[in-house]
Amino acid sequence: MRVLLADDEPLARERLASMLAEVGDVHVVGEAGNGREALEAAARLRPDVVLLDIRMPVMDGLEAARHLAALEGMPDGHVPGLIFCTAFGDHALAAFEANAVDYLVKPVRAERLRTALAKARRWNGDGARALEAIEPERRRTHLCARVRGSLVLVPVAEVDYLLAEDKYVLVRHAKGEVLIEEPLKSLEQEFADVFVRIHRNCLVALSKLTGLTRAPDGRLFAHLGGVATTLEVSRRNLPALRKLVRAL
């Protein structure tokens, strides 16, 4: 069994690794110090199980669990089982609603860890898709895209705008562009205080909005700081947008 350890405390990872060394047929293939590193390592190393802390910097374990569901769409369709390991018991319900293999409270006991691993050996991956449902009211800090078989994580704070294109949404961000398969409407709801709709197919970052200009033909366009692309504003969204621009 291939195991990935994800915890922001090196001593906690060391202790888990030591206990795992006493379990037969278990090999620690990698370690991560936060949820983002865990997600990237899981995509690269394809572990059978991820031992995942919840409260971590950059990206917490619950958000990482949501993104791990995207691994189902990777070339080999492999999704690891999740065992949450945390010092706090207040997320147990969310973890089990996500159909995690198990939930361990620190300090983790060796016999309890063995029981969780035994469950993981029987895990058949049916719960992987349920990871998408983990605490949906928790707003993500990153958007996750698949690019040429790899996962790309884009910090929401670096997104300039979101543009719907057929069944995809183009995410324009500080370092380029990626496509994600999420409805624009759900993104608007999740990030209501981050993005504003300017057109039926476009959301722009409020923090990047600098003003509006009118073209000779009467159409209005939104200006975003540091973005050269012209983004048309629909008549329907114009009144609300004008109020926001006045408040800038």
Q: Is the dihedral of CA 234, 235, 239, 245 positive or negative?
A: positive
HSE of 71, CA atoms in CB hemisphere, 13 A:
28
3-state SS assignment for residue 81: strand
The CATH class for the domain spanning 2-133 reads alpha beta
pLDDT tens column, 141-184:
999 888 876 788 999 999 999 999 988 999 999 999 999 989 99
- Closest Cα to residue 212, out of 184, 180, 234? 234
Quote the CA–CA distance of 57 and 16 in Å, as a whole number: 19
- Which contacts (CB < 8 Å, 24+ apart) does range 151-157 have? 151/39, 151/40, 151/43, 151/67, 151/70, 151/71, 151/74, 152/178, 153/36, 153/39, 153/40, 153/59, 153/67, 154/178, 156/191, 156/194, 157/207
Q: How confident is the model at residue 72 (pLDDT cuts 50, 70, 90)?
A: low
> What ranges do the domains of the chain cover?
2-133, 142-246
Quote the CA–CA distance of 163 and 159 in Å, as a whole number: 11
Query: Which range among 121-125, 158-162, 223-227, 229-233 shows the weakest confidence by mean pLDDT?
Result: 121-125
Quote the CA–CA distance of 154 and 89 in Å, as a whole number: 30
Q: 159-165 and 150-155 as β-strands: parallel, antiparallel, unpaired?
A: unpaired
Q: Whose structure tokens read 């621009």?
A: 245
Spell out the residues 6+ positions from residue 170 whose beta carbon is closer than 8 angstroms to its own: 162, 163, 164, 177, 178, 179
Length of the chain: 248
Q: Report if pTM > 0.75.
A: no
pLDDT tens column, 26-58:
999 999 999 999 999 998 999 999 999 989 999
Q: How confident is the model at residue 71 (pLDDT cuts 50, 70, 90)?
A: low
Average pLDDT, the chain: 86
pLDDT tens column, 74-124:
555 677 889 999 887 666 555 555 557 888 988 999 999 999 999 888 765
pLDDT of residue 35: 95
Does the 142-246 domain belong in CATH 2.40.50.1020? yes
Alpha helices, H only, 34-91: 35-45, 61-68
Q: What separation in angstroms does the CA of 173 have from each of 39, 181, 240? A: 20, 16, 24
DSSP 26: -
**Partners of 2 in the β-ladder:** 27
